[in-house]
RNA sequence: GUGCCCGUAGCUCAAUUGGAUAGAGCACCAGCCUUCUAAGCUGGGGGUUACAGGUUCGAUCCCUGUCGGGCACGCCA
């Protein structure tokens, strides 16, 4: 921060530490916590240190509090300090301390809210990581909004953030997509078999088949007899539906196409990944790294990880498969890493992937997973532990599914038959800003009821507009004033003495603490709640107080205040990937 | 059946991770535009935090049990 005004919580915590050292040698490591009070009568900040020390000092908490206050070094920012309740120490800030923050905010602009909480530690956030086998749906949308917002928050809180998307380009699912596309292509040429019930049904598969046809005409057409080899005769008339049959079909497909298979596979992957990337970009979500699962195999990292596990004696053979003894590390049962057919499981490449993440030197690795994957956590952490890694570096944030509501009814979201709502449709329906905001309006590990009608409505019920409207209102006022931004820096803010003004100032000061808490708790929703509160206080102030008053000194001070409010609204909305419009 | 998560105002959700009198928004009722954007504001009622115990200065938060809901329990990803 480029100002002499300190971060109050840190400042007061230091004072209390000194005070504690003066009155006792007990609990030198006790964390000293300053909290914002809920009630104005309790002052601005509160400290519960006395109550924490009381037990070991065998003294009445209120007496300890009194001793602490007497030992507290003087602070130029404090109006008064008092003991309250069971032994709380309440701090009352001087108005001037708050008023100075207007200048600080106007000076630091979009950097206000930044802190060194993260101390430049390297943190990776891996999110979305959806299989590139079809369009992103609204479930992915929440993970995308959550991850992107969280990454921004961590960055503001002083972490060095890398945003990563893990591309599952190696597995069976990709084979199924390639097969599906090829079958549609054959269908187009009238030489296919009934489309398998367990292949990808979506319209986008037909679209890809069409593209291949346009580019290469009949080059990949083959006789249908070869297709059904190893399959029951009925496969010519009725769609197959079992996994075994589909695997047989995939094998036939690879054999028939030979080297051309790689082309189809690569084509559908590139196509889907490109679509995904565009979709996310339009959603305001971008990544630093797109990490290929296939590359783990190509670079021998999977074999390497398996070898290490083997050296640690935590692998064993049974029923022709290779198992990882995850029960030794808290899992419910042991897990297969290599199947009877010699193929590695998804778990195997995931072990290699996470080991690789750790070896890339991130101090902290955050995975954002759908909550339905929670059962997967013990085995991944178990594997890392087996490899001698410090699993506390890995944090997994679970995101519950969002349930869409339209006309008060659940909008169906079955992944089968391509009936699911895509993220793209959602964006086109409610707009990017509303979608981004609504997704982070709840604690992410809670179910989210997404009210589509509300998100679309241009009414005061809609929290997105409520916050954006506050921003636009400030812009409008400043435009009518017509002055230069530099003039605001000269404002004498000591005339901001109304209770609403002092409350707003405190609210602005809180911003960096909220960012820090959101970073610590991996909770973007705190930013959304904060913005709603700040906007609410502003709207109230707006209605009760006129800014463009004849008293030019008072006018300038109030304009400086609302300009700083605008700055914080902008900074907060930016964290969430929501625009801050000048006009509405 | 086993494991994890959840249960807060009529509805949707908060509560700075153990702090003070549990807060917002909808919905409902009554008001505010000759004045910087009414996509706004002001006021009002609404609670045994599912239930029963326990831990302590203090519990929505931690422990135990019961009831109710969600998810996961593959050589799928």
A449 touches strand B (CB under 7 A): yes
* Helix and strand numbers, DSSP H then E, in chain A: 22, 15
Q: Is the pLDDT of residue A396 over 90?
A: yes
pLDDT in tens, A124-168: 999 999 999 999 998 899 999 999 999 999 999 999 999 999 999
- According to the model, what pLDDT value does residue A419 have? 57
A548 touches strand B (CB under 7 A): yes
A372 touches strand B (CB under 7 A): yes
d(CA A526, CA A570) in angstroms, rounded, equals 16
- According to the model, what pLDDT value does residue A412 have? 58
Q: Is the pLDDT of residue A29 over 60?
A: no
Q: Is the pLDDT of residue A30 over 70?
A: no
A477, A559 in Cβ contact below 8 A?
yes
A339 touches strand B (CB under 7 A): yes
Q: For the complex shown, is ipTM > 0.90?
A: yes
Q: Which nucleotide minimizes the distance between its C1' and the CA of A349?
A: B77
First to last CA, chain A: 33
Q: Is the pLDDT of residue A120 over 60?
A: yes
CA/C1' separation A144–B22 (Å):
32
Q: Is the pLDDT of residue A458 over 90?
A: no
A27, A52 in Cβ contact below 8 A?
yes
Which residues 213-242 of chain A have a CB under 7 Å from nucleic chain B?
Answer: none
A168 touches strand B (CB under 7 A): yes
A530 touches strand B (CB under 7 A): no
Q: Is the pLDDT of residue A510 over 90?
A: yes
CA/C1' separation A478–B37 (Å):
12
d(CA A429, CA A96) in angstroms, rounded, equals 47
A321 touches strand B (CB under 7 A): yes
A198 touches strand B (CB under 7 A): no
pLDDT in tens, A521-540: 999 999 999 999 999 999 99
Among protein residues, the one whose C-alpha sits closest to the C1' atom of B26 is: A461
Q: Is the pLDDT of residue A335 over 50?
A: yes
A358 touches strand B (CB under 7 A): no
- According to the model, what pLDDT value does residue A192 have? 87
% of chain A surpassing 90 pLDDT: 80
A347 touches strand B (CB under 7 A): yes
d(CA A399, CA A143) in angstroms, rounded, equals 6
- According to the model, what pLDDT value does residue A41 have? 87
- According to the model, what pLDDT value does residue A416 have? 43
pLDDT in tens, A232-264: 888 888 899 888 899 999 999 999 999 999 999
Chain B nucleotides with an atom closer than 7 Å to a protein C-beta: 2-6, 12-17, 19-21, 23-27, 35-37, 39-42, 57-58, 70-77
Q: Is the pLDDT of residue A20 over 80?
A: yes
CA/C1' separation A547–B41 (Å):
16
Q: Would you place residue A5 in the very low, low, confident or very high pLDDT band (cuts 50, 70, 90)? A: confident
- According to the model, what pLDDT value does residue A361 have? 94
Q: How does the average pLDDT of chain A come out, rounded?
A: 92
pLDDT in tens, A45-82: 999 999 888 877 888 889 999 999 999 999 999 999 99
d(CA A564, CA A558) in angstroms, rounded, equals 10
- Find, among A520, A564, A513, A515, the residue nearest to A36 by Cα: A513
A251 touches strand B (CB under 7 A): no
Q: Is the pLDDT of residue A94 over 70?
A: yes
A453 touches strand B (CB under 7 A): no
- According to the model, what pLDDT value does residue A415 have? 45
CA/C1' separation A499–B23 (Å):
20
Q: Is the pLDDT of residue A2 over 80?
A: no
Which residues 7-66 of chain A have a CB under 7 Å from nucleic chain B?
Answer: 33, 35-39, 41-42, 46, 48, 51-52, 54-55, 61
% of chain A surpassing 70 pLDDT: 97
Give the 3-state DSSP-derived string for A464-523, with helices as H, strands as E and coil as C.
HHHHHHHHHHHHHHHHHHCCCHHHHHCCCHHHCCCHHHHHHHHHHHHHHHHHHHHHHCCC
Q: Which nucleotide minimizes the distance between its C1' and the CA of A340?
A: B75
Q: Would you place residue A1 in the very low, low, confident or very high pLDDT band (cuts 50, 70, 90)? A: very low
A333 touches strand B (CB under 7 A): yes
A384, A394 in Cβ contact below 8 A?
yes
Q: Is the pLDDT of residue A3 over 80?
A: no
CA/C1' separation A454–B1 (Å):
42
- According to the model, what pLDDT value does residue A401 have? 84
Min mean pLDDT across A190-194, A353-357, A576-580 is at A190-194
- Find, among A360, A358, A357, A335, the residue nearest to A348 by Cα: A335
d(CA A51, CA A88) in angstroms, rounded, equals 7
pLDDT in tens, A281-321: 999 999 999 999 999 999 999 999 999 999 999 999 999 99
CA/C1' separation A48–B47 (Å):
27
d(CA A45, CA A503) in angstroms, rounded, equals 13
Residue A516 backbone phi and psi in degrees, to 5: -65, -45
Q: Which nucleotide minimizes the distance between its C1' and the CA of A548?
A: B36
């Amino acid at each position: 921060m480029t100002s002499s005004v300190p971060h109050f919580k840190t400042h007061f915590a230091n004072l209390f530490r000194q005070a504690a050292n003066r009155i006792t040698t007990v609990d030198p490591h006790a964390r000293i916590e300053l909290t914002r009070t809920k009630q104005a009568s309790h002052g601005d900040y509160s400290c519960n240190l006395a109550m924490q020390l009381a037990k070991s000092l065998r003294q009445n908490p209120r007496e300890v509090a009194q001793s602490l206050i007497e030992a507290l070094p003087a602070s130029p920012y404090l109006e008064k300090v008092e003991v309250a309740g069971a032994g709380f120490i309440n701090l009352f800030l001087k108005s001037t301390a708050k008023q100075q923050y207007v200048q600080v905010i106007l000076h630091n602009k979009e950097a206000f809210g930044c802190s060194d909480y993260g101390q430049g530690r390297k943190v990776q956030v891996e999110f979305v990581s959806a299989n590139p086998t079809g369009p992103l749906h609204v479930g992915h949308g929440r993970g995308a909004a959550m991850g992107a917002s969280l990454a921004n928050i961590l960055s503001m809180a002083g972490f060095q953030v890398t945003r990563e998307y893990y591309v599952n380009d190696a597995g069976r699912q990709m084979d199924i997509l390639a097969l599906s596309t090829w079958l549609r292509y054959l269908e187009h040429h009238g030489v296919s078999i009934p489309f398998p019930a367990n292949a990808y049904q979506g319209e986008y598969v037909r679209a890809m088949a069409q593209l291949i046809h346009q580019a290469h005409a009949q080059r990949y057409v083959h006789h249908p007899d070869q297709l059904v080899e190893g399959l029951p005769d009925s496969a010519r008339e009725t769609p197959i539906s079992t996994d075994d049959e589909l695997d047989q079909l995939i094998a036939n497909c690879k054999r028939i196409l030979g080297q051309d298979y790689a082309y189809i596979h690569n084509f559908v992957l590139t196509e889907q990944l490109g679509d995904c990337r565009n979709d996310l970009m339009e959603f305001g979500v971008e990544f630093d790294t797109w990490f290929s699962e296939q590359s783990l195999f190509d670079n021998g990292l999977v074999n390497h990880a398996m070898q290490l596990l083997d050296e640690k004696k935590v692998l064993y053979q049974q029923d022709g498969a290779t198992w990882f003894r995850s029960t030794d590390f808290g899992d419910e049962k042991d897990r297969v890493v290599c199947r009877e057919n010699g193929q590695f499981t998804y778990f195997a490449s995931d072990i290699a992937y996470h080991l690789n993440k750790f070896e890339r030197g991130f101090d902290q690795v955050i995975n954002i997973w759908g909550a339905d994957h929670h059962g997967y956590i013990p085995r991944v952490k178990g594997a890392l532990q087996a490899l001698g890694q410090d699993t506390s570096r890995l944090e997994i944030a679970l995101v519950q599914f969002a349930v869409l509501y339209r006309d008060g009814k659940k909008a169906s979201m079955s992944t089968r038959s391509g009936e699911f709502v895509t993220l793209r449709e959602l964006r086109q329906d409610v707009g990017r800003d509303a979608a981004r905001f609504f997704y982070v309006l709840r604690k992410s590990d809670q179910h989210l009821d997404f009210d589509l009608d509300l998100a679309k409505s241009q009414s005061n019920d809609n929290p997105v507009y409520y916050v954006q409207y506050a921003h636009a209102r400030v812009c409008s006022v400043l435009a009518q004033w017509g002055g230069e931004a530099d003039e605001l820096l000269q404002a004498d803010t000591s005339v901001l003495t109304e209770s609403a003004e002092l409350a707003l100032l405190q609210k602005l000061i809180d911003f960096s603490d909220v960012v820090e808490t959101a970073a610590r708790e991996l909770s973007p929703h705190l930013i959304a709640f904060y913005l709603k509160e700040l906007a609410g206080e502003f709207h109230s102030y707006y209605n009760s107080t006129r800014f463009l008053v004849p008293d030019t000194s008072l006018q300038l001070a109030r304009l400086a205040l609302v300009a700083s409010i605008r700055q914080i609204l902008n900074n907060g909305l930016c964290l969430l990937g929501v625009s801050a419009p000048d006009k509405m």
